[in-house]
Amino acid sequence: MDLPLAETARAEFAHSTTYLNTATCGVLPRAAVAAVRELSEAAGAGLPAGFGDFDRVNRVRAAFARLAGVAADRVAVGSAVSTHVGLVAASLSSGSEVLCPEGDFASVMNPFVVRGDLKVRFAPLESLAEAVGAGTTLVALSAVQSADGRTADLAAVRAATAAHGARMLVDATQAAGWLPFDASPYEYTVTAGYKWLLGARGASYLTVSQDAEHTLTPLHAGWVAAESMWDATYGPMPELAHGARKFDESPAFLAYHAAEPSLALLERVGIDAVHAHDTALAARYRAGLARLGHEPVPGDAAIVSVPGLADRLPALQAAGIATAARAGALRASFHLYSTEEDVDRLLNALS
């Protein structure tokens, strides 16, 4: 790109804060805001355009599939990661062992925990591959930890699950959008669309490999899960959709109308360029923290957490600097709209 990424992207956004909190929620691009407004106004006017556009949902499905390195027929759309994980949890037989990292995000583990008849086991993220055993049915983990940005060794865990005949569920919510991510090696992946993918709450994505498709039952199948939706609005559906679309939820159209221009922006910029930009800013922040005598959680992710600084959050908010407090640490997260000036402003506030 001819211009630095932040300068190029700045025209796409209208936020006025120093926004360093994408790990909580991304900033909607102007085009996404316009798409939501257009749909809302049409709905308020009672126009047919206000019903929502299934063709747009399918274009979003295809765009996410390209970002995730899978075919569009491997992607189901929904509203929340926990719903997708719940579908996987419901597929397991009583007594199955599920292995999760200690302290991972709740939505990745709670659907297994609340069943009560599964053996849910926890191990440190760094030694998760070694913890996979002959009795392990499924390993469920985040590609990048929400609390502190630690990145999983997915290749090592995949090798271990393959060696023991276990399946793997990867939550890419804190990865997809800034970290190049390939969903194809895993039986299941889940991704919320309102963080690094720059969308709104209500859009989420489930990928299911062709080999694992038979393991899931579409328990929440409505008419949108039919091969021919408009022939399945009443009575038992004649035929389930082919591929992962059989696991679709009825879409939250406002979120999916927003997602189309957001994913298009990420595709135009390119995830490799976003990754280079985001991690360079994170490295600048880490270096500045070291000069101030603070020690962040080690890593090179776009998420940087500093234990012991969570109490600084209110003062930063008052100064117009958006960060987050997670697990006793101050968490900053850098995305394509972040700048070096944003990093320096945060460091100056912390000094």
The yes-or-no verdict on residue 13 having pLDDT over 50 is yes
Cα 24 to Cα 73, 74, 76, 96, 236: the distances in Å are 29, 27, 23, 32, 40
Residues 13 and 149 reside in one and the same domain: no
Residues 295 and 260 reside in one and the same domain: no
**For residue range 60-88, what is the model confidence (pLDDT) as tens digits?**
999 999 999 999 999 999 999 999 999 99
Residues 263 and 318 reside in one and the same domain: no
**For residue range 217-248, what is the model confidence (pLDDT) as tens digits?**
999 999 999 999 999 999 999 999 999 999 99
Calpha distance 73→208 (Å, rounded): 9
Domains of the chain: total? 2
Residue 152 domain boundaries:
44-267
Calpha distance 185→180 (Å, rounded): 14
Report yes or no: 30 and 37 within 8 Å, Cβ to Cβ: no
Q: What is the mean pLDDT of the chain?
A: 96
Domain membership flag for residue 39: no
Task: Indicate the pTM of the whole model.
Answer: 0.95
Hey, what amino acid is at 276? A
Domain membership flag for residue 93: yes
Domain membership flag for residue 36: no
pLDDT at residue 10, rounded to an integer:
79
Residues 74 and 212 reside in one and the same domain: yes
DSSP states of 49-114 as a string?
A: GGG--HHHHHHHHHHHHHHHTS-GGGEEEES-HHHHHHHHHHTSPTT-EEEEETT--HHHHHHHHT
Residues 129 and 230 reside in one and the same domain: yes
Across 247-269, average pLDDT: 97
The yes-or-no verdict on residue 2 having pLDDT over 60 is no
Calpha distance 250→73 (Å, rounded): 17
**pLDDT bracket for residue 1 (50, 70, 90):** very low
Overall residue count recorded for the chain in this entry: 351
The token pair at 99 is 């292995």
